[in-house]
């Protein structure tokens, strides 16, 4: 093994350049051309690559240190066969420009004509780019008709490691811009036509100065940005990504993730966005449930009064709370609805027989039977009696079975929770449900009476309909919808016989339950309702 020194390569003439980020640590394996540190002048950020393949043996610098060309900043342990030091031109290509040393090597602006004021119309070419070739134009900094001086930047170019602002080279008025965003340019390519003022030096070479920061203006559509803002918030007065303090590698990473850098919290020196900042932003966006729905356009406001008389009535607290919860559930939970039907012919016959007894104290509807069947099925399919953890990384299985039942009240929909359904008989479930429904309609239902549900039931059978798609009441993972039962001719293998069929609409959270599980659960529920003797086994 060989220990080689890591030294600062050619910085294009810059001195006392500040270390603003260290990208590796002692013990890290790196490959040649992989960035090790990031330096910054008042006009550029430069990522310094490793000249060799190997393992970082030590680093002798800290963030905030000032370095010059040739300074040692660490050591690298190689396998013995070195690849040789990085060439100066390569460093310039990856980090910043190489200063123009020879007048004859720099393209000279072509004189086209003499203006009335003594100036001349010249085509200004792209100057020496320090060995870079086919460099992308990411921003145009001037407009036609604008007066510029020799040192004023007219466009910004970007490689995968550095950005550079290209100065006009001469003073004058911009007559024509010969490049567009996304173009790839090399040294000598024409970039603007300039009416050069008589005071400008005739053949002063254009010197490339690196950009203060990459002002990315991508020519291709980018993915929708990930943000960590609540869906109801509108981001106002946010500076565009072009003005964010970040290096080329960070901007490239942000583009790959579809992140708007203007919305990323910076942790680097002087408010600079680092790679870790972008990665943490994406991680938080994926884990934060508030992110869901961000960017959904609002429904346009309409002045309904211009079409006729109107009356505006405020929504009560129950309807406002329902709207908020259902919107959150719809945006956060990927929902699927499984439709099925259960033969409740015998169940209905038994229910009517019980209710016809003169001494019966509690009349039975079909809902308590469905709840009892649900409790049995939930024990057999425990994923229906679970909830996702807040971070979405684990599944919380519940050892109790509490079932919520939607109750229609004059003020809106309420969902009281019937506890320990699996431990109660059908009559006890019916009594508990009747008591809770009376409280709900009288406005006496407490908050505790509506908490802790494992699964919900929404029954529209008393009103009508054949099927519907109930919304999962998160953090529950499923909800069962019941529609009006209907007599249908059902084939028994030899004849059609009349059967009372109950439509079932099972909506479920597809993150927890897949389609096959939902179908099996629905079929088991239908079987339990088809023969209520199964409920006592």
Is 281 known to be catalytic? no
Mention every residue, 6+ apart, whose C-beta is less than 8 A from residue 161.
Answer: 35, 46, 47, 49, 93, 94, 95, 248, 249
The backbone torsions φ and ψ at residue 404, rounded to the nearest 5 degrees and listed phi first, read -90, 145
The backbone torsions φ and ψ at residue 134, rounded to the nearest 5 degrees and listed phi first, read 55, 60
Neighbours of 462 (CB within 10 A): 11
Helix (H, G, I), strand (E, B) or coil at 383: helix
R_g of the chain, CA atoms, integer Å: 36
Neighbours of 484 (CB within 10 A): 14
Residue with tokens 């004059």: 410
* Contact criterion met (CB below 8 Å) for 250 and 273: yes
Q: How far is CA 228 from CA 232, 288, 291, in A?
A: 12, 8, 6
What is the distance between the alpha carbons of residues 383 and 395, in angstroms, rounded to a whole number?
A: 8
What is the distance between the alpha carbons of residues 352 and 363, in angstroms, rounded to a whole number?
A: 9
Q: Which helix (H) or strand (E) holds 114?
A: strand 110-114
* Contact criterion met (CB below 8 Å) for 207 and 227: no
Tokens at residue 127, please?
A: 């100057």
What is the distance between the alpha carbons of residues 430 and 419, in angstroms, rounded to a whole number?
A: 12
Residues in the chain: 537
Mention every residue, 6+ apart, whose C-beta is less than 8 A from residue 292.
Answer: 231, 331, 332
What is the distance between the alpha carbons of residues 483 and 504, in angstroms, rounded to a whole number?
A: 7
Q: Are strands 35-40 and 66-67 parallel, antiparallel or unpaired?
A: unpaired
Q: What angle do CA 430, 435, 441 make, to 5 degrees?
A: 120
The active-site residue out of 397, 402, 438, 510 is: 510
Helices of type H across 136-219:
none
Candidates 432, 380, 427; CA nearest to 402 is 432
The backbone torsions φ and ψ at residue 200, rounded to the nearest 5 degrees and listed phi first, read -75, 140
The gap from C-alpha 281 to its chain's centroid, in whole angstroms, comes to 9
Bridge partners for 501 per DSSP: 343, 486
* Contact criterion met (CB below 8 Å) for 106 and 205: yes
Angle formed by the axes of helices 366-380 and 426-441, nearest 10° = 110
* Contact criterion met (CB below 8 Å) for 472 and 449: no
Q: What is the largest CA-CA distance in the chain?
A: 115
- Active site (catalytic) residues: 510
């Amino acid at each position: 093994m060989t220990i080689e020194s890591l030294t600062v390569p050619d910085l294009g003439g810059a001195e006392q350049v500040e270390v603003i980020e260290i990208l590796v640590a002692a013990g890290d394996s790196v490959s040649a051309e992989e960035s090790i540190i990031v330096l910054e002048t008042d006009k550029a950020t430069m990522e310094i690559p490793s000249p060799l393949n190997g393992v970082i043996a030590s680093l002798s610098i800290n963030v905030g240190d000032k370095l010059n060309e040739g300074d040692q900043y660490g050591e690298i342990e190689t396998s013995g066969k070195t690849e040789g030091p990085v060439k100066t031109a390569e460093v310039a290509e990856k980090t910043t420009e190489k200063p123009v040393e020879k007048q004859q090597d720099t393209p000279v602006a072509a004189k086209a004509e003499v203006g009335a004021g003594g100036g001349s119309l010249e085509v200004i070419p792209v100057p020496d780019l320090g060995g870079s070739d086919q460099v992308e134009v990411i921003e145009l900094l001037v407009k036609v008709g604008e007066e510029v001086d020799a040192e004023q930047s007219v466009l910004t170019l970007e490689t995968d490691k550095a950005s550079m602002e290209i100065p006009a080279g001469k003073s004058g008025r911009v007559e024509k811009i010969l490049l567009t965003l996304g173009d790839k340019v090399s040294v000598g390519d024409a970039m603007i036509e300039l009416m050069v003022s008589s005071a400008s030096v005739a053949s002063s070479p254009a010197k490339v100065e690196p950009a203060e920061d990459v002002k990315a203006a991508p020519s291709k559509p980018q993915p929708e940005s990930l943000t960590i803002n609540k869906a109801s918030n509108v981001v106002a007065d946010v500076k565009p990504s072009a003005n964010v303090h970040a290096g080329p590698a960070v901007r490239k990473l942000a583009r790959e993730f579809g992140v708007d850098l203007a919305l990323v919290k910076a942790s680097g020196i002087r408010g600079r966005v680092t790679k870790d900042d972008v990665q943490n932003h994406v991680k938080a966006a994926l884990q934060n449930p508030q992110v869901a729905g961000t960017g959904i356009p609002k429904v346009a406001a309409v002045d309904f009064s211009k079409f006729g008389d109107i009356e505006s009535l405020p929504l009560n607290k129950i309807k406002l709370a329902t709207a908020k919860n259902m919107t959150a559930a719809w945006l956060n939970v990927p929902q699927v609805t499984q439709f099925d039907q259960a033969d409740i012919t015998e169940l209905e016959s038994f229910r009517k027989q019980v209710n016809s007894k003169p001494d019966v104290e509690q009349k039975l509807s079909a809902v308590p039977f469905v709840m009892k069947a649900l409790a049995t099925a939930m024990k057999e399919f425990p994923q229906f009696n679970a909830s996702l953890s807040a971070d979405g990384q684990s599944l919380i299985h519940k050892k109790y079975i509490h079932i919520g039942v939607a109750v229609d009240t004059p003020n809106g929909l309420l969902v009281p929770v019937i506890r320990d359904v699996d431990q109660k008989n059908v009559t006890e479930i019916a009594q508990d449900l009747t008591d809770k429904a009376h409280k709900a309609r009288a406005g006496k239902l407490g908050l505790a009476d509506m908490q802790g549900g494992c699964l919900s039931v929404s029954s529209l059978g008393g009103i009508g309909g054949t099927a519907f798609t109930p919304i999962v009441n998160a953090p529950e993972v499923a909800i069962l919808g019941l529609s009006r039962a209907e007599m249908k001719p059902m084939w028994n293998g030899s004849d059609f016989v009349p059967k009372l069929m109950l439509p079932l609409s099972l909506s479920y959270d597809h993150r927890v339950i897949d389609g096959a599980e939902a179908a099996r659960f629905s079929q088991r529920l239908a079987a339990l309702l088809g023969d209520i003797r199964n409920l006592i086994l």
